Amino acid sequence: MSEAVEPSVGPLRVALLSYRSKPHCGGQGVYLRHLSRELVDLGHAVEVFSGQPYPELDREEIVLTKVPSLDLYRDEDPFRTPAREEFRDWIDVLEFAHMKTGGFPEPLTFSLRVLRELRRRRRDFDVVHDNQVLGLGNLAISRTGLPLVTSIHHPISVDRRIELEAAEGPLQKLGKRRWYGFVGMQSQVARRVGPILTVSGSSKVDIVKDFKVDPRDIEILPLGVDTSIFHPRGERVPGRIVAMASADAPIKGVDVLLRAVAKVATERDVHVIVVSRPREDGPTAKLVRELALGDRVRFVSGISDDELGELLASAEVAVVPSRYEGFSLPAVEHMASGTPLVASRAGALPEVVGDAAELVEPGDVEELASVLRRLHDSPEERAKIGAAGLARVLERYTWRAVAQATVDHYRAAITQRNYLRLAAGKA
């Protein structure tokens, strides 16, 4: 059977893979949404292959091909037991069995399902772009004849390390080790999968260190921000602090922020809004009760893009309190809103924000509280930091530039694959 001849110039046909694609939280879903839009606007054809939750896509021309899992981790019914009729094939059985033993199967099972689709449709695409699936099925994509480019925003080994440090007791540690068992698979795949794009120098160092990838296989390509959504919008709400973070994930540092706000609130009229939905019986909800924050804290989720943009631009101060970030789109979105940013000196955050934000030690409640007090009391300093952040975003972080550079990497992968094919033919 003849295969497609990939163009070295002109429009490309891109298969973009993402095993879960939450549109408003989690870097993978945001990245997928904006990159696919800009690729189409540049004239390329994009088909997104995604498992649940499915993405929001900004252009009618983008094709969404749903690759459904058993959706075992849906918000309203996590770790559910599917009905017998929901099982379609052996991959579904594997997924459920893996979950029942405490593991997280989605990267593996999605990669197997999407490989089956790509084998059937290999002549429909010029290049495949994996958005941090890194499942074993990815290793067979090259055997379909399709060149593959892989994005790793940061290695999940970092999340595993921080979660294990926060775990209480041997049973919880054992559970965390089992849950993050897929990281070993991702490490193996990353070493063998070919060209990798990552979002910062910090992430590149971590990929090399934790996944043992050859640094020559990794290119740094920062992310962008949608300034039609995130931009200054006028008056700000006095005393308002805003953060966007997964509330129950220790890596995001929401606990540190809440403890700092509780200290500041004894002396200043401040309140915090966190864009997230914590579990009702989770650690964040318990901490809010312990600190007696009451109406000083509010969690919001499920809001529209415009509502999110308005919220970020309404804050007097934004905080990214993470213990680690491979890049941090929220940091850039806060800066694009002209909101003065306080960020942890963790992972790629210093690299991303430069001198356009206040940096604090990750996990240091006292230092964060001190900075929040100072900024609350100084409108002049807030205005200076906010203006610096906005200027940095406009200079460095646009999705159009990200898409154009990504296309260059697609073409390089296609050229490399064609050279290998010619060499094999001559041999």
Residue with the larger pLDDT of the pair 240 and 280: 240
pLDDT at residue 25, as a whole number: 59
Between 259 and 4, the more confident residue is: 259
Residue 2: which pLDDT band, with cuts at 50, 70 and 90? Answer: very low
The verdict on residue 3 lying in a domain is: no
d(CA 171, CA 61): 49
Mode of pairing for the β-strands spanning 240-244 and 271-275: parallel
Give the rounded percent of residues in the chain with a pLDDT score beyond 90: 88
Provide the token pair at 17.
Answer: 């893979």
Q: What is the pLDDT of residues 119-151, one digit of tens each?
A: 999 999 999 999 999 999 999 999 999 999 999
Q: Clarify whether residues 275 and 192 are in a common domain.
A: no
The three-class DSSP label of residue 50 is strand
Locate tokens 């058993």: which residue?
A: 70
Question: Is the same domain home to 390 and 408?
Answer: no
The b-or-e profile of 348-386 (16+ CB within 10 A means b, else e) is bbbbbbeebbbbbebbbbebbbebbbebbeeeeebeebb
In terms of residue numbers, what domain contains 167?
Answer: 13-224+399-418
What's the whole-number average pLDDT of the chain?
A: 94
What region, left, alpha or beta, does residue 327 occupy, with left being phi > 0 and alpha being psi -120 to 50 degrees? alpha
What does the chain come to in residues?
427
In a domain, 258, yes or no: yes
Assess if residue 4 is contained within a domain: no
Cis ω on the peptide bond leading into residue 55 (within 30° of 0)?
no
The CATH number covering residue 285 comes to 3.40.50.2000
Among 199, 192, 184, which Cα is nearest to 213's? Answer: 192
Distances (CA, A) of 306 to 30, 68, 316, 387: 15, 29, 18, 21
**What pLDDT shows up at residue 274?**
97
Confidence label for 24 from pLDDT (cuts 50, 70 and 90): low
- Do 360 and 308 fall into the same domain? yes
Confidence of residue 426 (pLDDT cuts 50, 70, 90): low
191 and 245 both lie in a single domain = no
In a domain, 155, yes or no: yes
Q: Is 168 helix (H, G, I), strand (E, B) or coil?
A: coil
Both 264 and 391 in one domain: the answer is yes
Number of domains in the chain: 2
Kindly state whether residues 330 and 381 are assigned to the same domain.
Answer: yes
Asked, for residue 426, whether it belongs to a domain, the answer is no
Regarding whether 300 and 362 lie in a shared domain, the answer is yes
Residue 5 included in any domain: no
Whether the predicted pLDDT of 1 surpasses 90: no
Given a contact cutoff of 8 angstroms between Cβ atoms, the answer to whether 276 and 254 are in contact is yes
Do 414 and 322 share a structural domain? no
**Is residue 403 domain-shared with residue 392, that is, in the same domain?**
no
Per DSSP, helices labelled H in 250-346 are 254-264, 283-291, 305-314, 329-336
pLDDT tens-digit series, residues 204-251: 999 999 999 999 999 999 999 999 999 999 899 999 999 999 888 999
Q: Is residue 233 part of a domain?
A: no
Using alpha carbons only, give the angle 337, 57, 131 rounded to the nearest 5 degrees.
Answer: 90
Is residue 6 predicted with pLDDT exceeding 60?
no
My answer on whether 380 and 410 are in the same domain is no
Residues 384 and 279 in one domain: yes
Q: Among residues 314, 418, 337, which one has the least CA distance to residue 385?
A: 337
Confidence category of residue 312, pLDDT binned at 50, 70, 90: very high
- Mark whether 168 and 311 lie in a shared domain: no
Residue 2 or residue 74, greater confidence:
74
Residue of 304, 310, 312, 314 whose CA lies nearest to 331: 312
Instruction: Give the Cα separation of 56 and 245 in Å (integer).
Output: 19
pTM to 2 decimal places: 0.86
Q: Is residue 281 part of a domain?
A: yes
